[in-house]
Amino acid sequence: MLALLPVFAAKVPRVPIAPGVEMPMLNFGYQKDHTAAIQIGVRGLDTALTYGDPQQKEVGKAVRDASVPRSELFVTSKIPCYPSDFQQGSPTNSTADVLHDLDMLGLGYVDLVLLHWPCDTIEGSAAAYKAMEPFLASGQAKAIGISNFNASAIEALLPLVNTKPSVNQCGFSIAGHDESTSLWGRDDITHAACRKHGIQYSAYSPLGGVTKQGTGYVLSNPTVQAVAKAQNRSAAQVAMRWVVQKGVVAVTKSDEIDHIASDLEVFDFRLTEAQMVELAAVK
């Protein structure tokens, strides 16, 4: 069946996030088989230290074994923050964690490394983030960024670091982008703060997994269903398209190759301005 599926790589646009670094607008995260995903056109792969060594090794092997050049594949990894250790601003664990990610992936470099979440204090967050900066100079990381930072955390971090984050990855979706989700940057205000500072906003759970009601609520919502019918698309494609059409990089996952192929097709159509507004109003 895999051989019969089309290849969509050329359809996935990229967005510049740092000098000479372009990130695919669609990336795939925690799942079983990145090799099959690459074969049908996935070029963005997302992993993290907290996903475990087997997952990072699987991603690295999929990239090494791929029939496409390494330069065409974009790999994101993340390191955690240790609240108790970083209250005094020690960068020791962050340096070790980036090195561990590199070792598990076995790729020589990663395209993007993110601080997975803020520390207990802004000083701790700054120390952890600054520990990633030397990896830029060495070429072991092409770009660095943050994850789950809300607007106020971004404003507090920027004066304390030397390199502006390239990306802020937060939960974001239809019905999951209002002030009630702002603690972890899952809101329109954080999205606007990223645009203000030239930080690429990225969305995990773009189909609604960050909403209180879950993905099922978004995909079964009457407004989403109506737009899907009008566009002759699935509800999942409409939900994903709403995210990327807002200029937000999406990070999703699936172990079903047909679902992955369907996700890659969201660049084949556009929602109307009225539909974008209708979907943004879904609560």
Catalytic amino acids? 51
The answer to whether 141 and 181 are in contact (CB under 8 A) is: no
Tokens 């943004």 found at: 280
Can you tell me the distance from the alpha carbon of 113 to that of 143, in angstroms, rounded to the nearest whole number? Answer: 7
Q: Which residues lie across from 201 on neighbouring strands?
A: 168
Q: Kindly give, in sequence order, each residue whose CB lies less than 8 Å from that of residue 239, ignoring residues fewer than 6 positions away.
A: 173, 174, 206, 207, 208, 218, 219, 224, 279
Can you tell me the distance from the alpha carbon of 195 to that of 126, in angstroms, rounded to the nearest whole number? Answer: 21
